[in-house]
Amino acid sequence: MVKYDGPTKGKRFYGCSYWPEQRTCGFFKWVDEIDEVGELQMLLQEKDSKIAELEKEMEELKQKVKRLKAKKEKLQDEVGEMGIATTETLFEMKENNTDKKLVLTLVFSWAFFYFSVVDEVKVVVLFWRRR
């Protein structure tokens, strides 16, 4: 029954049984507009069907979330493995780079030694020839 002042004060109505404690389903009918109980039963069936649809959708979404979490964990593992592989590759490249530097240093030192010795031998040979 409407308790507030206005044109509908004292008028009786049917409303959602959850109002005002919870979110309502939106059901509302004035008592004088209800012709028969069948109409209310039909509305109740519609609401039950909607609840069943929403429950099914919620279950599907839960399954989807579960699959996405599993996929996320798999991708995190793959990224972790890629990080380890990348680190190993960087170390290998660094080692290879160090090896190349050592080889180049050795080649240049041999070349320097060769030209130094050859120049000294030439000087000694020239010195002995002049004598």
- As a three-state string, the secondary structure of the chain is CCCCCCCCCCCCEEECCCCCCCCCCCCEEEHHHCCCHHHHHHHHHHHHHHHHHHHHHHHHHHHHHHHHHHHHHHHHHHHHHHHHHHHHHHHHHHHHHHHHHHHHHHHHHHHHHHHHHHHHHHHHHHHHHHC
pLDDT of residue 53: 93
11-42 pLDDT, tens per residue?
877 777 776 676 667 777 777 776 666 777 88
Structural domain spans, the chain: 35-130
Please determine, for residue 50, whether its predicted confidence score (pLDDT) is greater than 70: yes
